[in-house]
């Protein structure tokens, strides 16, 4: 397994975890389930940890691709890297918020305000992770770029 493989494996997990966590928060709000909300918070904290791993494997993956492929779109790699740093900041903030909420409210119900804040953070993180993923796909899948530009016309 090389750096590019490790990067691809770790980049898919946080986005999936954030989507599942957001759905769990919505269901927890509807059902008034504090336990499900706590599970979602644990999932967000885990997503933050995996996101750090994904981010740290990005540069080695880029170096691997530069030697393996030789011709890579540098501007697309730069855009992917820039949005990845922003997404990392958001998801680490979200994961930190989740851990603090779990610790501070460990003996009492989390409440609707914490659930709504968690949901907003997960939606923001999800959007940023999706954009990061799209820009990452553009690096190695030029057919996606052309399909997207046709749709935007």
Q: What are the domain boundaries of the chain?
A: 3-152
Say if residue 25's pLDDT is above 50.
yes
Q: What does each C-alpha distance from 96 to 41, 48, 99, 100 come to in angstroms?
A: 10, 8, 5, 6
Token pair 């993923």 in the structure block, residue: 133
Percent of the chain with pLDDT over 70: 88
61 and 7 Cβ atoms separated by less than 8 Å: yes
Say if residue 153's pLDDT is above 80.
no
Length of the chain as a residue count: 153
Q: Which of 24-28, 39-43, 80-84, 97-101 has the lowest mean pLDDT?
A: 80-84
| Structure tokens that stand for 152 in this block | 């935007």
Alpha-carbon gap, residue 9 to 117, rounded angstroms: 29
What was the pLDDT predicted at 62? 79
Say if residue 57's pLDDT is above 80.
yes
- 141 confidence band (pLDDT: 50, 70, 90): low
Alpha-carbon gap, residue 95 to 142, rounded angstroms: 33
Alpha-carbon gap, residue 83 to 87, rounded angstroms: 6
């Amino acid at each position: 397994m090389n750096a590019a493989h490790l990067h691809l494996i770790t980049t898919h997990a946080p986005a999936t975890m954030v989507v599942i966590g957001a759905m769990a928060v919505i269901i927890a709000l509807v059902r008034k389930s504090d336990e499900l909300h706590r599970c979602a918070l644990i999932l967000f904290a885990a997503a933050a940890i995996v996101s750090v791993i994904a981010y740290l494997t990005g540069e080695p993956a880029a170096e691997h691709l530069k030697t393996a492929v030789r011709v890579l779109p540098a501007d697309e790699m730069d855009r992917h890297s820039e949005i990845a740093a922003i997404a990392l900041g958001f998801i680490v903030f979200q994961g930190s918020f989740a851990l603090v909420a779990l610790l501070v409210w460990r003996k009492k119900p989390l409440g609707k305000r914490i659930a709504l804040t968690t949901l907003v953070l997960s939606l923001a993180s999800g959007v940023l992770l999706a954009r990061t993923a799209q820009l990452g796909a553009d690096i190695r899948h030029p057919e996606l770029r052309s399909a997207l530009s046709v749709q935007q016309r």
